[in-house]
Amino acid sequence: MHRRRQLELRMALGQGKPEPNALVFSTIEGDQIPPNNLSRDWARFVKARKLPSVSFHGLRHSHASALIAAKTDVLTVSRRIGHASAAVTLKVYGHLFEDTDKTAADAIEAALRTGEER
């Protein structure tokens, strides 16, 4: 819905289609929206719709946490949330990857057992 409105506005202003890698939330020129403006607009949106009070930045953490819970690898999570490296992601969200260590241990144990049966 947002993307369609954004495209319609760009077309009405004669700006044409945005680049394929354009930001989802941007100014009409395609520049980054100042973070304070985005946070302010998000707070107004949440309040107007009587949604639970979650900061816009909190959505980023929820997104990362959901990806990790779904067993998404750290490199993919890091790229999706815009960290400079997977090391940054592990520093912030490392505690959430603990379940994946057990999954990895179970997988290697199963592989070794399969090898024993041969």
Which residues are CB-contacts of 30 (< 8 A; sequence separation ≥ 6)? Answer: 18, 19, 22, 23
Confidence of residue 62 (pLDDT cuts 50, 70, 90): very high
User: pLDDT tens-digit profile of 21-31?
Assistant: 888 778 877 88
- For residue 108 the two structure tokens come to 């290697």
pTM over 0.75? The answer is no
Cβ pair 25, 38 in contact under 8 A: yes
User: pLDDT tens-digit profile of 66-93?
Assistant: 999 898 999 999 999 999 999 999 999 9
- Residue 116: the pLDDT is 62
- Residue 16: the pLDDT is 85
What is the identity of the amino acid at 105?
A
- For residue 96 the two structure tokens come to 């959430």
